[in-house]
């Protein structure tokens, strides 16, 4: 609407139509037609007097209807009947301006001279031409804006490729392809400085025989590259040392790619189309900057990859060290069990020795042994057998616990493995700790069996020590379940708990809350590594003087 305000400077009534509705009326129009109340009534007040049509459409009844439906510029002479019955004569003509239909109502009622009419008409025609020039100027601005949108689209596509990949070949392929399409080129390539020449590294379309080809350029071209200027020249040779003479009319554009003052390379593109540097310099410079950033980033990534290889080698060494630590911790755990296992073995052995001594006395007795002591000997013999069985079970459990298949995964019954660990810890539990088992029916779980046993052993020993420090009767609740296709094992005690200020450290290697000589600080750290190896998690909830609950979660459908 602001662009239509200029028509307020005109003496003649002027209005603007959009979608067959009046959207603007100048002051003269309002004064002449008294700001009519109904558009339909306003139209019917006009009647033809003399009509010059640029269109064959005469189906409408009023001059205004024909004006609105005319596909070309319209002009006519007609009468207008005022409310008091008075007739006015108007010369009406229309033209397009700013996507609107402009209608001019020239009052010719009092005109007596054709010359005056022609003069005024010529003035309006001149103004109309000026309007056309304004429209053309607007159209040119619109085309320029569209070109800018196109260029920004190209820059955004290259930026997107750079963000999505660190592969320099992909980035260069995208950038060279965009330049090729933008300039209508038949060849575009990227070259890097090599001594006094440039070596072609990437080219579109791909010509294998031109990769790594050395190219020479004239001194004036080299000086412009040195000054970071884009060069546009007509040439018969693609480069100075080329043996091929090209047809006339070939334009060569050379775009230097710099990072600060370091020349990273040049982009060379060849086109048969007319090229204006001023129309494209902005986008070419933007592409140069984008490539510069990408090349620097690629160089950093290459350095990073080299360091990653060194780190990978170091990591492999650490893994070997970690396995040694696991074995060391296992031996430490076995050492803690030695005294208990020795006690468990000594008890049945003492029974066997005692019973054997009694049998020897009976055998050496003067009495009839077969008749008097048959039943007693049978009972003693049964006790010996049971004691021997207990010794055998303990030895078998110990062998299973220390088997050397750490890196091999196999299916295992986790409930049975927990029972095995409890059996080995019987000496830690039998005095003042009650074990509550809440086992669920479990499917076989693919795992490293002895590694998981090591985790269970560490958690259970820690629970026992926590309860013993509390000096009271204790309980350890062990539960197993399958939740969301995961094995979940929970070990809960009612011991002294873990202080809040150290809870974030308990999985750190070397950290321990136990007294000197009772802990190495590796048990929970290694347990976490073992669970990580199984692609699972280990967590805990602890309250001081109320106890701790550890939760081990392992996926049961993982592949290893």
Render pLDDT for 437-490 as a digit per residue (tens, 0 to 9): 999 999 999 988 888 888 998 899 888 888 887 776 788 999 999 999 999 999
Are both 355 and 244 inside the same structural domain?
Answer: no
The answer to whether the CB of 469 falls within 8 A of the CB of 496 is yes
Are both 371 and 422 inside the same structural domain?
Answer: no
145 versus 311: the higher-pLDDT residue is: 311
The residue among 407, 398, 468 whose CA lies nearest residue 432 is 468
**Would you say residue 133 lies in a domain?**
no
**Confidence class for position 552, pLDDT limits 50, 70, 90:** very high
User: What would the mean pLDDT of 100-117 be, rounded to a whole number?
Assistant: 76
| 111 pLDDT higher than 70 | no
Distance from C-alpha of 454 to C-alpha of 235, rounded to nearest angstrom: 78
**Confidence class for position 256, pLDDT limits 50, 70, 90:** confident
Angle made by CA atoms 57, 63, 64, in degrees to the nearest 5: 100
Three-state secondary structure readout of 312-379: HHHHHHHHHHHHHHHHHHHHHHHHHHHHHHHHHHHHHHHHHHHHHHHHHHHHHCCCCHHHHCHHHHHH
**Would you say residue 134 lies in a domain?**
no
pLDDT, position 240: 83
Distance of CA 509 to the CA centre of its chain: 34
pLDDT, position 13: 93
- Out of 402, 417, 448, a domain closes at 402
Least trusted range by pLDDT, from 209-223, 368-382, 493-507 = 368-382
Number of residues written out for the chain: 560
pLDDT, position 80: 87
User: What would the mean pLDDT of 162-167 be, rounded to a whole number?
Assistant: 64
pLDDT, position 301: 72
**Would you say residue 154 lies in a domain?**
no
| 208 pLDDT higher than 60 | yes
- Integer-rounded Cα Rg, in Å, for the chain is 49
**Confidence class for position 112, pLDDT limits 50, 70, 90:** very low
Are both 354 and 417 inside the same structural domain?
Answer: no
User: What would the mean pLDDT of 83-99 be, rounded to a whole number?
Assistant: 86
Taken in order 174, 175, 181, 186, is the CA torsion positive or negative? negative
**Would you say residue 14 lies in a domain?**
yes
pLDDT, position 405: 44
The residue among 192, 418, 409, 185 whose CA lies nearest residue 284 is 185
Are both 84 and 208 inside the same structural domain?
Answer: no
**Confidence class for position 117, pLDDT limits 50, 70, 90:** low
Which domain does 491 fall in, by range?
409-555
pLDDT, position 77: 86
- Out of 259, 275, 291, a domain closes at 275
User: What would the mean pLDDT of 482-503 be, rounded to a whole number?
Assistant: 90
Are both 414 and 396 inside the same structural domain?
Answer: no
pLDDT, position 560: 43
Cis peptide before 457 (omega within 30 of 0): no
**Would you say residue 136 lies in a domain?**
no
Distance from C-alpha of 382 to C-alpha of 394, rounded to nearest angstrom: 19
**Would you say residue 116 lies in a domain?**
no
**Would you say residue 52 lies in a domain?**
yes
| 424 pLDDT higher than 50 | yes
User: What would the mean pLDDT of 522-529 be, rounded to a whole number?
Assistant: 82
* Token pair for 295: 């090349």
**Would you say residue 425 lies in a domain?**
yes
The number of domains in the chain is 4
């Amino acid at each position: 609407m602001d662009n239509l305000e200029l028509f307020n400077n005109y003496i003649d009534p002027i209005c603007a139509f959009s979608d067959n509705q009046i959207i603007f009326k100048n002051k003269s129009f309002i004064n002449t037609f008294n700001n009519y109340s109904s558009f339909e009534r306003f139209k019917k007040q006009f009647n033809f007097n003399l009509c010059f049509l640029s269109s064959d459409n005469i189906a409408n009844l009023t001059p205004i209807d024909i004006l609105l439906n005319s596909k070309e510029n319209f002009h006519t002479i007609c009468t207008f009947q005022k409310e008091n019955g008075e007739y006015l004569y108007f010369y009406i003509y229309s033209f397009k301006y700013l996507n609107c239909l402009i209608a001019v109502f020239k009052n010719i009622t009092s005109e007596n001279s054709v010359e005056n009419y022609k003069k005024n008409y010529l003035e309006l025609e001149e103004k109309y031409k000026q309007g056309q020039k304004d429209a053309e100027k607007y159209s040119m601005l619109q085309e320029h804006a569209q070109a800018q949108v196109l260029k920004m689209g190209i820059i955004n596509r290259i930026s997107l490729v750079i963000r999505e990949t660190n592969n320099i070949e992909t980035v260069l392929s995208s950038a060279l392809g965009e330049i090729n399409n933008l300039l209508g080129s038949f060849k575009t390539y990227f070259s890097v400085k090599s001594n006094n020449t440039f070596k072609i590294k990437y080219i579109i379309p791909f010509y294998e025989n031109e990769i790594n080809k050395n190219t020479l350029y004239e001194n004036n071209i080299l000086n412009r590259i040195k000054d970071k200027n884009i060069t546009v020249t007509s040439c018969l040779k693609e480069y100075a040392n080329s043996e091929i003479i090209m047809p006339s009319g070939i334009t060569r554009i050379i775009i230097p790619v710099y990072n600060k003052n370091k020349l990273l390379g040049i982009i060379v593109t060849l086109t048969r189309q007319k090229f204006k540097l001023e129309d494209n310099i902005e986008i070419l410079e933007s592409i140069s900057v984008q490539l510069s950033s990408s090349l620097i980033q690629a160089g950093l990534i290459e350095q990073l990859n080299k360091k990653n290889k060194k780190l990978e080698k170091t990591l492999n060494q650490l893994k070997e060290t970690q396995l040694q630590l696991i074995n060391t911790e296992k031996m430490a755990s076995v050492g803690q069990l030695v005294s208990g296992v020795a006690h468990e073995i000594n008890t049945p052995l003492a029974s066997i020795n005692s019973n054997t001594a009694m049998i020897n006395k009976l055998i050496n007795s003067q009495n009839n042994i077969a008749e008097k002591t048959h039943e007693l000997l049978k009972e003693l013999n049964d006790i010996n057998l049971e004691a021997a069985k207990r010794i055998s079970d303990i030895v078998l459990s110990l062998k299973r616990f220390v088997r050397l298949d750490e890196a091999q995964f196999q299916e295992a019954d986790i409930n049975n493995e927990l029972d095995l660990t409890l059996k080995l810890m019987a000496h830690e539990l039998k005095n003042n700790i009650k074990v509550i088992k809440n086992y669920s029916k479990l499917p076989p779980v693919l795992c490293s069996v002895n590694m998981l046993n090591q985790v269970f052993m560490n958690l259970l020993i820690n629970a026992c020590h926590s309860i013993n420090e509390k000096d009271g009767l204790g309980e350890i609740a062990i539960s197993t379940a399958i939740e969301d296709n995961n094995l979940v094992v929970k070990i809960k005690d009612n011991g002294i708990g873990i202080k809040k200020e150290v809870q974030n450290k308990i999985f750190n290697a070397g950290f321990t809350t136990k007294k000197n000589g009772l802990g190495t600080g590796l048990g929970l750290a290694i347990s976490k590594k073992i669970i990580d190896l199984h692609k699972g998690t280990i967590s805990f909830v602890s309250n001081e003087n109320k106890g701790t609950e550890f939760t081990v979660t392992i996926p049961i459908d993982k592949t290893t």
